[in-house]
Amino acid sequence: MDSGGRPRHVLEQIVEQYQVVMHGVSLSIGSTDPLNFEYLGKLKNLAEWTRAAWISDHVCWTGVNGLNGHDLLPLPFNEETLQHVVSRIKTVQDFLERPLVLENPSTYVTFTDSTMFEWEFVTRMAEESDCGLLLDVNNVYVSCFNNDLDPEDFIRSLPHERIVRFHLVGRTDCGTHIVDTHDNFVVDKVWELYQLAHKLTGGVSTLLEWDAQIPDFDVVYDEVLKARDLILQ
């Protein structure tokens, strides 16, 4: 977004040949700081330049009081948060003049201020703001393990018609908790959940994320083909 160098040059060649979508981590849709319109302006310019079909980010916040922790921080799931997030999604969609798609992040805490489950929050958020959903199946698995919830309940309870993409990714099991590290193979349980999600949605595009300790291309490609094989079963 800010690059005038090689990254931009490479992206230019990609968008000449492929339809792209944009995925970010800095929207901070759940922050109680004002929306950053300088950021949104650059995002919009990039989306116009790449002719992105949609822009996605996460149901989270990244900082307050002008600071940014560069993490996908968890929200309390209650009415106040819901109204705040829905209002901001509407503003962002109007500004970007493109659909906004939001992804469930991996979470490691839940707050006593929450009055609803994450899937209830996400469902109402999507319906009241008319945004799309990106279902990270591994994040469902990680959050549910960490928060003592049932991942199948999570996936079954979502508004499946609003899901436009799946993410699959590897994780690190720390025993007491699981961390979303993007550096490993997808685990069997996530593949099972993916099959369930695929069945419930009727099938949408899938992205395998492997952006740390990246192995040879053939290894990554084989992992992608597993997804194809599973949905063809």
Partner 1 sequence: MPEQRSMRRLEGWVQEVITNPDGIAVGVESPAAKQQIDIDVSSIEQVVEPSSRMDSTERLAVYGNAYFSRLVKCLGEEFPATRYAIGEENFKSFAFAYVNDSPSSSYSLGFLGEQFAQYLIDTRPADVSKPGWPDFLIDLATLERTYAEFFDGLGPEHLDTLKLQDLQTVPPDLVNEVRFVPVPSLRLLEASFSVHEYVTAVRRDQSPEIPLPAETLLVITRREYVVRRGPVSRTEFQLLRAILDGNSLGAAIKIAAEAMPDMADEELASNLSKWFQHWASAGWFIRVELPDS
- Cβ nearer to partner 1, comparing 26 with 157: 26
Q: Using CA of residue 166, residue 170, residue 173, residue 179, what is the dihedral sign?
A: negative
Query: Does the footprint of partner 1 cover residue 2 (CB under 8 A)?
Result: yes
- Interface positions, 114-173, toward partner 1 (CB under 8 A): 115, 146-148
- Cβ nearer to partner 1, comparing 194 with 210: 210
Query: Does the footprint of partner 1 cover residue 71 (CB under 8 A)?
Result: yes
Q: Which residues contact 227 (CB under 8 A, 6 or more apart)?
A: 168, 194, 206, 208
- Cβ nearer to partner 1, comparing 19 with 112: 112
Only segment of 105-113, 117-125, 130-138, 155-163 that touches partner 1 (CB under 8 A): 105-113
Distance, in Å, from the CA atom of 64 to the CA atom of 192, rounded to the nearest integer, reads: 37
Distance, in Å, from the CA atom of 140 to the CA atom of 152, rounded to the nearest integer, reads: 9
Query: Does the footprint of partner 1 cover residue 16 (CB under 8 A)?
Result: no
221: how many CB neighbours lie within 10 A of its CB? 10
Which residue is it, tokens 């962002």? 92
Radius of gyration of the chain (CA): 17
- Cβ nearer to partner 1, comparing 112 with 233: 112
- Measured in degrees and rounded to the nearest 5, phi and psi for residue 164 equal -110, -10
Closest distance between partner 1 and the C-beta of residue 84, in Å? 6
Interface contacts to partner 1, rule CB under 8 A = 1-7, 9, 26, 28, 31-32, 36, 39, 61-71, 73, 75-76, 78, 80-81, 84, 108-113, 115, 146-148, 175-177, 179
